């Protein structure tokens, strides 16, 4: 009863139009989930961009595809209408974590109101949601500020090719809404850890392990010591975690290992002195322990933490959700995303505005289809309220 009364208050034309779009949204979702578009699968990412552009252009929204060699394209679209003032940015990424061939094995399907398939939650449903919100505004208007869609193509590997461009586009925007999946609780994401991947190698001295054991210096021994030291940097109280997630090394059992390598994942918060932490990590990797071994860092990739969403922006979204009859809170997560980049240039950023989804980066990944329309409507209301 309360819910229907609250709903009756929302009469904006874009909200009404979105109310009838669940089937169309699901159809577009199926179309793009059924295209393999893992990071660096350039042709697949471009095919997803073309499918989204077709829908946008049919609604009168011009969309440019900017090449990102090796990764695909940016999709950059501006909703016609308001042109004065700083833009509101609807962001997303078109790449997934899944290898080519995944779609053939487990294509899009719907079961008990949940959609399944590679990238269905993270974040193809979010892309579709953003496209339909843009279309609602293009058809019905009402937004005071310009609205721009900006979809990238390498987020799942830490945005190596697009981070500068994303920060450029976000600079001076009024607000960023990043359509990563809504949490299983239904909540939005108002803070994220940053991540850092450190790849490193260790050289030792090879020797026959039976005849000349003492002549050898084991790279695997050195790696093991470094792993323990790196893991000891984990400090839950300050939000720092370290995880050596893959290791490789040695040649045969009867040779003292001349070489080993590993990849370390570090998560940290916006309060962490990341330069100091990285220096500590390098010192551990480069320490000559045991003697005659040598370690070196071969690559470092970072995703910035997302500083807390300003209360005012969260409140704006919450107010719209409340009018629609649902309550939503902000939540902190250890997962990194491009929203860290946009928050780092000082633009108010709210993340997790996509439909509710679960088990991202697994075969059980799903999208809760019943949340498609209400979350699109809540996002539209937040945009309509922005000045």
Strand partners, 299: 199
Cβ contact 45:73 at 8 Å: yes
User: Residue 300 CB, nearest distance to Zn ion (Å)?
Assistant: 21
Among 49, 134, 129, smallest CA distance to 371 is for 129
Please answer whether residues 56 and 149 qualify as being in contact, where contact means their C-beta atoms are separated by less than 8 angstroms. Answer: yes
For Zn ion, the binding residue among 59, 121, 123, 217 (CB under 5 A) is: 123
CB of 123 to Zn ion, least distance (A): 4
Q: Contact region for Zn ion (CB under 5 A) — 80-88, 119-127, 239-247, 248-256?
A: 119-127
Q: Are 122 and 181 in contact (CB under 8 A)?
A: yes
Residue nearer to Zn ion on the CB measure, 88 or 123: 123
| Sign of the dihedral defined by the CA atoms of residues 367, 370, 376, 381, in that order | negative
**Quick one: 123 or 176, whose CB is closer to Zn ion?**
123
Write down the least CB distance from residue 93 to Zn ion, Å: 6
Q: How far is the CB of 51 from Zn ion (least distance, A)?
A: 18
With contact defined as beta carbons under 8 Å apart, do 121 and 355 qualify?
A: yes
In the shown chain, the binding pattern of residues 166 to 185 toward Zn ion, with x for contact by CB under 5 A and - for none, equals --------------x-----
Q: What is the 3-state secondary structure of 179-200?
A: CCCECCCCCEEEEECEEEEEEE
Contact letters (x/-) for Zn ion, 68-107, by CB under 5 A? ----------------------------------------
- Compute the least distance from the CB of residue 306 to Zn ion, in Å: 13
CA-atom Rg of the chain in angstroms: 24
Decide: 39 and 154 in contact? Cβ < 8 Å: yes
Cβ at position 349, least distance to Zn ion in Å:
14
What is the phi/psi pair of residue 240, to 5°?
Answer: -100, 125
Between CA 273 and CA 12 the distance in angstroms is 46
Q: How far is the CB of 155 from Zn ion (least distance, A)?
A: 6
CB nearer to Zn ion: give 49 or 223: 49
Residue 33 engages Zn ion in binding (rule: CB under 5 A) = no
> Which residue from 122, 154, 201, 331 is in contact with Zn ion, where contact means CB under 5 A?
122
Looking at beta carbons only, is 135 or 154 nearer to Zn ion?
A: 154
Please choose, out of 117-125, 200-208, 234-242, 365-373, the segment that lies near Zn ion by the rule CB under 5 A: 117-125
Tokens representing residue 90 in the block: 């609807």
Size of the site for Zn ion (CB under 5 A): 3
Pick the closest to residue 163 from 351, 302, 54, 297 (CA basis): 302
Contacting residues toward Zn ion, per CB under 5 A: 122-123, 180
């Amino acid at each position: 009863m309360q819910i229907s009364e609250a709903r009756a208050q929302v009469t904006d034309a874009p909200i009404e139009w979105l109310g009838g779009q669940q089937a169309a949204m699901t159809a577009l979702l199926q179309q793009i989930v059924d295209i393999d578009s893992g990071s660096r699968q350039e042709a697949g990412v471009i095919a997803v961009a073309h499918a989204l552009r077709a829908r946008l252009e049919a609604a009168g929204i011009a969309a440019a595809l900017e090449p990102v060699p090796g990764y695909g394209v940016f999709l950059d679209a501006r909703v016609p209408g308001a042109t004065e003032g700083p833009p509101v940015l609807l962001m997303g990424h078109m790449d997934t974590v899944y290898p080519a061939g995944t779609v053939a094995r487990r294509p899009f399907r719907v079961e008990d109101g949940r959609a399944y398939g590679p990238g269905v939650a993270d974040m193809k449903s979010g892309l579709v949601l953003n496209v339909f919100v843009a279309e609602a505004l293009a058809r019905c208007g009402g937004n005071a500020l310009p609205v721009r869609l900006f979809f990238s193509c390498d987020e799942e590997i830490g945005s190596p090719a697009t981070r500068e461009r994303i920060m450029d586009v976000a600079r001076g925007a009024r607000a960023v809404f990043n359509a990563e999946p809504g949490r299983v609780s239904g909540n939005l994401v108002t803070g994220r850890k940053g991540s850092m991947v450190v790849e490193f190698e260790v050289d030792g001295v090879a020797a026959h392990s039976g005849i000349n054991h003492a002549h050898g210096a084991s790279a695997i021994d050195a790696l093991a010591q470094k792993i323990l030291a790196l893991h000891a940097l984990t400090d839950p109280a300050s939000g720092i975690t370290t995880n050596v997630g893959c290791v490789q090394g040695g040649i045969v059992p009867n040779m003292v290992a001349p070489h080993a390598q590993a990849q370390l994942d570090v998560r940290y918060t916006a309060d962490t002195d990341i330069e100091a932490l990285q220096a500590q990590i390098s010192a551990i990797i480069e320490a000559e322990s045991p003697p005659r071994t040598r370690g070196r860092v071969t690559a470092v990739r970072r995703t910035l933490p997302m500083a807390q969403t300003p209360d005012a922006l969260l409140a704006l979204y919450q107010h719209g959700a409340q009018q629609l009859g649902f309550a939503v809170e902000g939540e902190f997560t250890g997962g990194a995303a491009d929203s860290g980049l946009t928050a780092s240039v000082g633009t108010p950023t709210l993340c997790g505005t996509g439909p509710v989804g679960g088990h991202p980066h697994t075969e059980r990944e799903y999208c809760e289809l019943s949340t498609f329309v209400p979350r699109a409507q809540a996002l539209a209301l937040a945009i309509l309220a922005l000045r």
